[in-house]
Amino acid sequence: MNVPADRVVVRTLVSLKLRLLANGLRRSPGRRALYLVGSAVGLLFTALIATGFAFLNGHAGAADASVMLTTSLAIGWAALPLFLFSSDESSDPTRLTMLPLRPGPLLRGTLLAALIGPGPVIALVLLTGAVIAAAAGAVAVPFAVLGVPLTVVCLVTLSRAVAAGNAKLLSSRRGKDFAIFGGLLFAILVQVGNLASQSILGRSGEGGLDLSPLKPFASVLRWIPPVSALDSARTAGDSVPLALLQLAATGALLALLLRWWQRSLQDLMVTADSSTLIATQSVGRASRNLFPDGRVGAVMQRHLRYAWREPRAKAAVFTSIGMTLVMCVLSVVQGWGSVYMVAMAGLMLGLQMVNLFGMDGSAFWMVSSTLATPADARDELRGRAYAVLSYAVPISTLLGLVLAAATGQWAELPPALGLSYAALGGGVGLGALLSVLAPYAMPADSNPMRNAAPGQGGVVLLNTFGSMLGVLVITGPVALLLFALPGWALLPIGIGFGALLAVGGTRLAAGRLLERLPEILATAIER
């Protein structure tokens, strides 16, 4: 009696995944076109990479390159759930654990559903190209036919097992915070991989592509499952028993991952959610008030607390810091680094003032109800500006010191910091104006990486690129003074000019804030 019911559960879960994909394309013709074009471009790019690997067959080091590609895919599939968990609701096992389902059918149905989508198709295409590059003779064909699908299933199972094993953490606020840091780490690792690939390509000479730097790493990684399953096509040319052992190792890993996944699902079904339990202890701690008195200090404290606790606000702050750090590290490693890169930190951090009220969402009605006079409006914007400056100034200064130490350009540090502070002040002032004149709603979903509600792309572009261009224009006079004044003189000039821009921008924005309250409130609560 259980067998037919189990099959119904499996078919239902697969049908549910197909329905989710179909319904996602029915929301709007633009979304459907974007998905189809993006999928076509992605598959074409993937096919080109796979074709390039296939043409490496017979080249010295081709098998090593295949091992490194498979290793990269394994790391990506294992790590992606840790910081993209909230963006893929179909990977959240807690949405099904309250249903009367047995762990076995739930596992089989979820696994089959996970194999549907662009991710497994891309992995299949890439691994096919990699196995062709590594194959050695006709004896490798059966191992390639078995190794590629086995590796794909192992990668998908690894991803879902990691997601299920960490579901409680990833669905919490701490998990979303971890997702933000994971995304930044992923961006840094991509740049590291880019540098490594450029180093390898730079070794190319008259003899062709030199893949010898990969050999020490590949000689170890090829024996670690699931990489070993793909590498069995190479090993079969030398030793069939050893190739069978590589396939068996990946099969054993798949069995262990399935066991871990099933145990995680079973624990989620029978364990109470800690978020529903009543807390028995309070954690109130008295802290020294380091903020100004009055409304300015209260607003500053509230803004900093939101920036730390709200996933979307935290994503914006740490993405700006991460992008700046990646560019600075990349410039130093590649040899074109300059201490003037610190100006990018001032620009990116100053623009954290953009869309202040749209970030508040429906909670902005409480703020608007307390804005009765022009002084209230000025204090509201001043408090938020002070909050941004409280972390932007120390970060910019520290980054300038690090860049000066890394490049040896200590004499250029004062003008670079002056330019950074000018850009920071310009971003604060212009961001305050755009927050009042062109706010946009933030989506009220669980994905912190989405930055706007549908239909507001034009306003987002205005805030993003318009603000950057505006800061570059209004801080241009400070940059021009580099050619007319001694370098040390730009530090006080940059500080004064940045302060003038910040004060002027916030005052102009405060003058329009009261009359714009109804429009801002209507936009902020739009979801």
In a domain, 392, yes or no: yes
Check residue 273 and give its pLDDT.
52
Q: Residue 133 pLDDT more than 60?
A: yes
In the chain, pLDDT over 70 holds for what percent of residues? 77
Give the residue from 210, 240, 272 where a domain finishes: 272
Q: Residue 1 pLDDT more than 50?
A: no
Give Cα 47 distance to the centre of its chain.
Answer: 25
Tens of pLDDT, residues 302-312: 888 887 777 67
In a domain, 205, yes or no: yes
- Are 189 and 63 in a shared domain? yes
Query: What pairs with residue 205 in β-bridges?
Result: 208
- Are 245 and 386 in a shared domain? no
Of the listed ranges 69-83, 87-101, 227-241, 360-374, the least confidently predicted one is 87-101
N residues, the chain: 527
- Are 204 and 299 in a shared domain? no
Residue 80 CA neighbour count, 13 Å, CB half: 16
Higher-confidence residue of 218 and 487: namely: 218
In this structure, are residues 436 and 516 in contact, taking their beta carbons and an 8 Å threshold? yes
In a domain, 207, yes or no: yes
- Are 187 and 323 in a shared domain? no
- Are 331 and 237 in a shared domain? no
Check residue 195 and give its pLDDT.
60
Give Cα 99 distance to the centre of its chain.
Answer: 32
Check residue 39 and give its pLDDT.
77
Q: Residue 282 pLDDT more than 50?
A: no
**Average pLDDT of span 457-473:** 76
- Are 408 and 357 in a shared domain? yes
Check residue 215 and give its pLDDT.
81
- Are 389 and 266 in a shared domain? no
- Type of residue at 211: L
> Across 230-344, where does the E strand assignment appear?
none
Q: What is the mean pLDDT of the chain?
A: 79
Give the residue from 241, 272, 303 where a domain finishes: 272
Query: How close are the terminal C-alpha atoms of the chain, in Å?
Result: 47
In the chain, pLDDT over 90 holds for what percent of residues? 22
Peptide bond into 226 cis (omega under 30): yes
Tens of pLDDT, residues 433-444: 988 888 877 665
Higher-confidence residue of 419 and 452: namely: 419
Tens of pLDDT, residues 173-205: 555 555 556 655 666 666 666 666 655 555 554
Tens of pLDDT, residues 134-179: 888 888 899 999 999 999 999 999 988 888 877 766 666 555 555 5
Nearest residue to 161 (alpha-carbon basis) of 257, 93, 225: 257
Q: Residue 446 pLDDT more than 50?
A: no
Of the listed ranges 245-254, 281-290, 439-448, the least confidently predicted one is 281-290
> What does the block give as tokens for 137?
């003779």
Nearest residue to 77 (alpha-carbon basis) of 195, 163, 167: 163
Q: What is the pTM of this model?
A: 0.59
Tens of pLDDT, residues 477-499: 888 888 888 878 889 999 999 99
- Are 355 and 460 in a shared domain? yes
- Are 310 and 235 in a shared domain? no
Tens of pLDDT, residues 40-95: 888 888 999 999 888 888 788 888 889 988 998 888 888 777 665 544 555 566 66
In a domain, 278, yes or no: no
In a domain, 280, yes or no: no
Q: Where does the pLDDT of residue 421 fall: very low under 50, low under 70, confident under 90, or very high at 90 and above? A: very high
- Are 369 and 220 in a shared domain? no
Q: What's the domain range around 165?
A: 2-272
Q: Residue 283 pLDDT more than 50?
A: no
In this structure, are residues 499 and 367 in contact, taking their beta carbons and an 8 Å threshold? no
- Are 516 and 467 in a shared domain? yes
Please give the Cα distance from 267 to 259 (Å, whole number).
12
User: Sign of dihedral through CA atoms 178, 180, 183, 184?
Assistant: negative
The number of distinct structural domains making up the chain is 2
Please give the Cα distance from 99 to 439 (Å, whole number).
42
Q: Residue 264 pLDDT more than 90?
A: no
In a domain, 289, yes or no: no
Q: Where does the pLDDT of residue 371 fall: very low under 50, low under 70, confident under 90, or very high at 90 and above? A: confident
- Are 265 and 302 in a shared domain? no
Q: Residue 368 pLDDT more than 60?
A: yes
Please give the Cα distance from 129 to 24 (Å, whole number).
30
